[in-house]
Amino acid sequence: MIIQVKHHLGEYPVYIGADLLANPQTWLSHIKGRQVMMISNQSIAANFLPLLHHHFKHLQCDQFVLADGESSKNWQNLQQIWDALISQGHRRDTTLVAIGGGVVTDITGFAAACYLRGVNYISIPTSLLAQVDAAIGGKTAINHPRGKNLIGAFHQPQAVIIDTHSLRSLPERHFRAGLAEIIKAALIQDQIFFHFLENNSAAILARDEKILTQIIYRACQIKAHIVMQDERENQQRALLNFGHTFGHAIECVFDFKDYLHGEAVAIGMVLAARLSLTETGLTVAEFDRIVALLDKLTLPCHLPPTIDSEKLLQAIYQDKKNSHQGLNFILLTKIGQSIIKSIQPEILKPLALPSPS
């Protein structure tokens, strides 16, 4: 299956299917020059690089392997990637190939954005989260000690290759966390898709490859549709942040350690849905369906009893201050329909209270 994503300088395909990496004839043509630099991380590299090396044997093929984890999305690694490109003589027609989760696709995209003022890159996201989120839309970045993704660029890939086989080896907790962004896509834009997720939760958790391909395809389609209308995130693209203000604040309060991004977003979506009850007319029945689906897919739905409410509120205000949009939140008018709404700070206070233990 292919989704074509248009942007202001051209367009690129997102290929979705089983075993795409073993069959490169569909996507190898997106490498234009005679050089590639594969960028991956330690736990992924052994699984994928030998196969890709084989596909790229007619090219100058170099590689750069990052340590696992979010902390690899840093300055030092970015510089080392550029140093490697320069010392190995990569020219303006080289292609960087990212193979890994969001950390790898984000730093690779940013390295490509600024090397010789922009070279091509191909994104091969191997985690569910990266497949339905990081790989589409051209957002690239590294982290700064003071915050995530503060330094980055918009730089579109030549192609995105989502091989559902790569999910087989994904640890269970990471797999489930990725589902949060799929549920988000349904919540903000597609009621029927939400219904589909409700009806197929068992198959999803069993990683039925046919169902997975379908839901990844639909989530990517929704994201692609939104980013095509607002490439630089001036307006509508903000809808993709549903649950994310609360989610980021939760990640922040726990120092990015206790919760995976998708887990924090799951709780964040419940909080945003709760806010939608009073602010935008979401019904209690719909709210209950949202919590039930998250629960069925074994995602967390409540703030932990130990949370420091004051710290959480501060983190929310900080996030909003950085985004210079006042206290605008993405809320649901119903399942499958979202809007941006300005919220008075006081209204947030009861939401930040921990769940009774």
Where in the sequence numbering do the catalytic residues fall?
117, 139, 181, 223, 233, 237, 241, 244, 248, 261
- Sole window of 148-156, 194-202, 301-309, 330-338 interacting with its own copies (rule: CB under 8 A): 148-156
- Sole window of 44-52, 95-103, 147-155, 270-278 interacting with its own copies (rule: CB under 8 A): 147-155
Pairing of strands 159-163, 120-125: parallel
Using CB under 8 A as the binding rule, the residues of this chain from 308 to 347 that contact its own copies are 321-324
**Site mask, its own copies, residues 9-28, x = CB under 8 A?**
x-------------------
Find the binder of its own copies among 50, 57, 87, 346 (CB under 8 A). Answer: 87
Q: Minimum distance from CB of 240 to its own copies (Å)?
A: 14
Beta carbon nearer to its own copies, 142 or 266: 142
- Sole window of 63-71, 86-94, 191-199, 265-273 interacting with its own copies (rule: CB under 8 A): 86-94
Beta carbon nearer to its own copies, 93 or 172: 93
Residue 141 near its own copies by CB under 8 A: yes
CA distance 54 to 47: 13
The DSSP H or E segment spanning 12 is: strand 10-17
- Sole window of 110-118, 156-164, 216-224, 258-266 interacting with its own copies (rule: CB under 8 A): 110-118
Q: Are 105 and 57 in contact (CB under 8 A)?
A: no
Q: What b-and-e string marks burial along 282-293, b requiring 16 or more CB atoms within 10 Å of the CB? A: beeebbebbbeb
Residue 6 near its own copies by CB under 8 A: no
Beta carbon nearer to its own copies, 148 or 174: 148
Q: How many CA atoms lie within 13 A of 249 on its CB side?
A: 29
Beta carbon nearer to its own copies, 6 or 91: 91
Residue 117 near its own copies by CB under 8 A: yes
Beta carbon nearer to its own copies, 11 or 288: 11
CA distance 210 to 196: 13
Residues in Cβ contact with 309 at an 8 Å cutoff, skipping those fewer than 6 apart: 349, 352, 353, 354
Residue 61, strand partner residues: 36
CA distance 120 to 109: 9
The DSSP H or E segment spanning 64 is: strand 60-66
Q: What b-and-e string marks burial along 186-224, b requiring 16 or more CB atoms within 10 Å of the CB? A: bbbbbeebbebbbebbeebbeeebebbbbbbbbbbbbbb
Find the binder of its own copies among 154, 254, 287, 317 (CB under 8 A). Answer: 154
Beta carbon nearer to its own copies, 45 or 227: 227
Binding region for its own copies (CB under 8 A) = 8-9, 33, 75, 79, 82-83, 86-87, 89, 91-93, 110, 113-118, 139-141, 144, 146-147, 149-154, 232, 321-324
